[in-house]
Structure 1
């Protein structure tokens, strides 16, 4: 047994059982660093690329600490979007099987009465959006006096002006001997600065590239196109064989126009943006996840934390505003070493920007074109059939 495998063996037996059932072999790099640190009650500030197993890196040691005999809340996990909250809850339920540990989700916009009913069932782990969690604390419905661990998932999205005060108040409402853990795919300087204020002598873990996951399974390609012609390329991508494509657009206006044009051409797509109600968002994600639609068109805000298995292509319809956004978006495909393709639809100006990103991130972006319904190299020639 390797040192890495021992990390899981040393956790409670129910975790090891689910690990074996899931068919996992060794922990990923972020898991092998973070799990022991969190088990030892250290505060942690961790950065690792999207798709490297960050959720389990904090979830397994948090579950390991929970006393299922106690009826009080012992850990709070905060996330910036409803979708991410629900995904964390699903993972928590999967990994706590047979342990007697209960979790509950609390999100803005949901029925408050129903959420209070959840608290009556005495969850030991609370997973929620900052606004709603703080609201329940202020109403004295959510008691924080036994909370030992606070987790900030996608920390760079939580430590922003709209959430920061709520986060600080939530952390302050817990035990003075609390543990604060922050995870993110990117950690800008200002986020590290705020994270240091919330933590005590935190162990900073930075994984630039996970060597346990073969990253060379993701291809980065691009098509040169005028802005107005990008829709034709999206149309062709939607018709690729066995495609499951997540398409990123910069705002709701662009998304609506693109979706309407595709639907007019009888192309069935799902959409995801922050102005949609909860039911419509869930329906969109479900239809895309189940393969009823080959393409999900989303804004960056709505797609944060979205974890859908087997996404074959991530498409940058609107070019990312910076390198961090490129990393976040692109990490939705090729998760845990699966293969995937990242497609950028770029104008000449954006092509220069993409090449800069590629150089900085250490990959090569290859230009392609369509020949009929196939993606080919631009110089590839085809003989005419007689």
Structure 2
């Protein structure tokens, strides 16, 4: 943990207070590179400590006595942006460093009032940042450090134009840092066009300390029976699952059916108000609900502790998507399970998708209110004994 010694005493002390026994590999690699002012493309698995890897050097390099915004962190979703803000607030408590969230869905007037006070660091979502820059309320030329978190999402077709405009409005000597769990061709292109000799950092899942054991499994099910199966899973003892569906309509349909049947579920989607999203997350974190159903975008970057399961209600389209979603469980040394509700039409695709995994996924069934290994034939044989 040599890099800790490169930080000012105030941040060294904060590190001690957090009680971290050791630094994560991405932090060991990234902090010195950022402190040196280099442009960076960093690839590291979900839950590997990327947020702190860029927050620490930002805190070290900004000067709270300067009356302008010196660092900007961009995230693709409101939830991820607020998670980053919360981490920053923990670290800056009792210091002069100020932090302001600039996210869509929140009161813009309040954000404008805070911007007038020239916060040291801002954290925002692309749409709101673009709006504030266009109305000249936010000056990109003052930003010296720009971090793109979940860079693959920010560089997807949806956000690419806005991101390019924001980056190009910064000064040539600014530092540009992009972090992601998967580095796509789009990211490589951004690095090539907009960065100066970027340092490429990469941490694989194998290099991560104390990873829990993650089981990959599937249940064969008719498409029309998936909602019922989710209901059964929500009543399973000790389950805390994040369930992914591929589109908003499916989330809304499953929500109305399951809530009507008193299932222990909550949903997270883009049409919810900020307060509703917060309540859904709080209920899930406290254990009032057992399964949180969401789309990929709504759950992007969410860090929920002690998830026992990730459930793919719909089979993911790509291996990257499968790994992104699956990386939410089995964190910090805890075991986890990645369960796919496999419709017959998706079997071929799922087989192809999972052949890259280290172990072969196991087939399971619901039996006596629990998930057990086997198929309908082996279970009916059990019942006859």
TM-score under structure 1 normalisation?
0.93
The 5 A counterparts of 1:93-108 are 93-108=89-104
C-alpha change, 1:363 and 1:100, in structure 2 (3 Å) is farther
RMSD: 1.9
The answer to whether the Cα contact below 8 Å between 2:231 and 2:264 also exists between their aligned partners in 1 is: no
1:112 corresponds, among 82, 88, 108, to 108
**Structure 1 position 237 matched with structure 2 position 229:** no
1:24-173 superposed matches below 5 A = 24-173=20-169
Structure 2: stretches of 5+ with no match in the other structure? none
**Native 8 Å contact 2:102 2:129 kept in 1:** yes
Corresponding position of 1:344 = 340
Give yes or no for contact 2:326–2:338 (8 Å, CA) kept in 1: yes
Query: 1:88-121, CA deviations, whole angstroms, 9 ceiling, x for partnerless residues?
Result: 1001111223332111000123222111111123
Q: Pick from 297, 305, 308: which aligns with 2:304?
A: 308
1:252-291 per-residue CA deviation (whole Å, 9 max, x = no partner) reads: 2111221222122211321111122222222211211222
User: Per-residue CA shift, 1:64-108, capped at 9, x if unaligned?
Assistant: 111122221110111111111111100111122333211100012
Partner Cα separation in structure 2 for residue 219 and residue 229 of structure 1: 23
Aligned to 2:248: 252
The reply on whether 1:376 has 2:372 as its aligned counterpart is yes
Residues 70, 143 of structure 2: 8 Å contact kept: yes
Answering whether residue 319 of structure 2 is matched by residue 323 of structure 1, we say yes
Aligned length: 381
Q: CA shift at 1:45, angstroms?
A: 0.6
Structure 1 residues without counterparts, runs of 5 or longer: none
What secondary structure sits across from 2:123 in the alignment?
A: strand
| Contact 1:14–1:98, Cα closer than 8 Å, also in 2 | no
Out of 362-371 and 373-382, give the one that drifted further.
Answer: 373-382
Aligned with 2:158: secondary structure? helix
Counterpart of 1:17 (choices 7, 13, 17) is: 13
Secondary structure of the 2:237 match is coil
Partner of 2:208: 212
Q: Is the 8 A contact 2:309 2:337 kept in 1?
A: yes
Q: CA deviation at 1:337?
A: 3.0
Q: Is the 8 A contact 2:248 2:269 kept in 1?
A: yes
Tell me if the contact between 1:52 and 1:210 (Cα under 8 Å) persists in the aligned partners: no
CA shift at 1:151, angstroms? 0.4
**C-alpha separation between the residues in 2 aligned to 1:325 and 1:38?**
28
- Cα offset, 1:294, TM superposition: 1.2
Distance in 2, matches of 1:285 and 1:177, equals 40
Partner SS for 2:159: helix
